Amino acid sequence: MRRPPQWAFGTAGLLTLLAAWELLGRTAFADSRAVPPPTAVLGQLHDDGFGFYLPNVETTLREAGLGWLWGNAIAIVLAVALVQVPLLEQALLRLALVSYCLPVIAIGPVLAVLFSDDTPKVILAALSVIFTTLVGALVGLRGADRTSLDLIRAYGGGKWTQLWRVRLRACLPSLFAGLRIAAPAAMLGAIIGEYLGAESGLGVAMINSQQSLAVERTWGIALVATALSGAAYGLTALIGRLLTPWAPRAAR
């Protein structure tokens, strides 16, 4: 017998999850309404429409996108600096680890005092992605083929020639693995920043819906945020696959 395609298993699992969610929402959680059935959530999404979601989605995507760009740019520059100047490794790695371990809830109010407009949310989104991308870029840069590096050195090339000719190409699969994880992380950082103070965005909309006890709307906002994060992850994975056709699928 022919084996079903891989997507069929994923679709079956998703349908099973939705059916179980619908059943629990209409039975076990019917009185508390803490977990509304997906049909009620979709109905609320339809009632709210684009007029409610579009401005909030645009705000959150702008903050997450800027944070993703700045955070990844900083991470890539740090990775190159660590490879090219090994003396900086201990200091820069510790600094990156500290930025990753900083509690977002604790640093958010400080950033809100120091900066205005969307800057605190962008910084939080950037901090959420730096360490992940840095690790992926470092693994790729250091995993370059030793024979190719020795060949560059034998022909008189230095570290920068090795970087340009060998290391950058070798690091792309691992780099995109980090960028995939960074995309949802940037979205989460932006939403947490909105929780700590903002005028619009998915985080603000979620706070307002919780305060007004609009349970279905709260779940709808959560589903929209999840869908955006998943779309960002998938788009990054697709770009990585197109740019690194030589890499094994597991590495992309």
- On whether residue 72 sits in a domain, the answer given is yes
Look up the domain containing 197 and give its range. Answer: 39-251
- On whether residue 217 sits in a domain, the answer given is yes
- On whether residue 14 sits in a domain, the answer given is no
* Count of domains observed in the chain: 1
- On whether residue 55 sits in a domain, the answer given is yes
- The DSSP result for the chain, as a single string, is -PPPPHHHHHHHHHHHHHHHHHHHHHTTTTTT-SS--HHHHHHHHHHHHHHHHHHHHHHHHHHHHHHHHHHHHHHHHHHHHHHH-GGGHHHHHHHHHHHHHS-HHHHHHHHHHH--TTHHHHHHHHHTTHHHHHHHHHHHHHTS-HHHHHHHHHTT--HHHHIIIIIHHHHHHHHHHHHHHHHHHHHHHHHHHHHTS-SSSHHHHHHHHHHTT-HHHHHHHHHHHHHHHHHHHHHHHHHHHHH-TTS-GGG-
Looking at residue 1, its pLDDT comes to 60
Encode pLDDT of 5-34 as tens digits: 666 777 888 888 888 888 888 887 777 778
- On whether residue 176 sits in a domain, the answer given is yes
Encode pLDDT of 95-140 as tens digits: 888 877 777 777 878 887 888 788 888 999 998 899 889 989 998 8
Task: Tell me the whole-structure pTM to 2 decimals.
Answer: 0.83
- The CATH number of whichever domain residue 108 belongs to comes to 1.10.3720.10
